[in-house]
Structure 1
């Protein structure tokens, strides 16, 4: 591993089938419980409802590095979510993000070198 930690951020927008909101939200709750308990490298994993669009959910995920993302993807709670979510979905759009600028939590050791990201393709 290099001396710099390169965080990975993902935004995913889900559009749910009409009437699937409650069951999808239950699946998400079970998944986030597992993430909180077993994924120290997952820095942020938030799920948002969209005002005025009750069938939309936006996930924001921030992982310490590629290793943390890989760890997340093989966890039983994540694998269950990936397998079961499809029946609730009308559509899905995922975007991997490259940090261009911003504010990171002060004192968060996992993001101490996040400014390395700013030197990449978007920060040129």
Structure 2
């Protein structure tokens, strides 16, 4: 079963948001290179909230998420992100219905 979450990050200010975006982009390069079980990892900026970032993450399964959390690039992100942020909210999601990327295994 797919495993997903939404994370809402609020940066201290515009400069911190830009630094956070840079850190996220570096992390994404590691994800692309070494995490086949990470199906979707996207950062969004809500309209009219320039210092907020909302990540949507979709994993093949819970094991893929746990493997993601153990990667060096993710550990670096988790360690360094706090200097840019004033708030982090995580919501884990249970899938009801949907369309997954074609690379997702059917379960």
Whether these two folds match at TM > 0.5 is yes
- Give TM-score, length-normalised by structure 1: 0.81
The alignment status of 1:17 with 2:39, answered yes or no, reads no
Long gaps (5+) in structure 1: 1-5, 114-124
CA positional deviation for 1:70: 1.1
- Give TM-score, length-normalised by structure 2: 0.93
CA positional deviation for 1:109: 5.1
Segments ≥4 residues shifted beyond 3 Å: none
Higher relative contact order (CA 8 A, sep 6+): 2
Partner of residue 24 from structure 2, selected from 24, 28, 41: 28
RMSD of aligned Cα (Å): 1.1
CA gap 1:85/1:68 in 2 versus in 1, 3 angstroms: same
Long gaps (5+) in structure 2: none
Partner of residue 58 from structure 1, selected from 49, 54, 61: 54
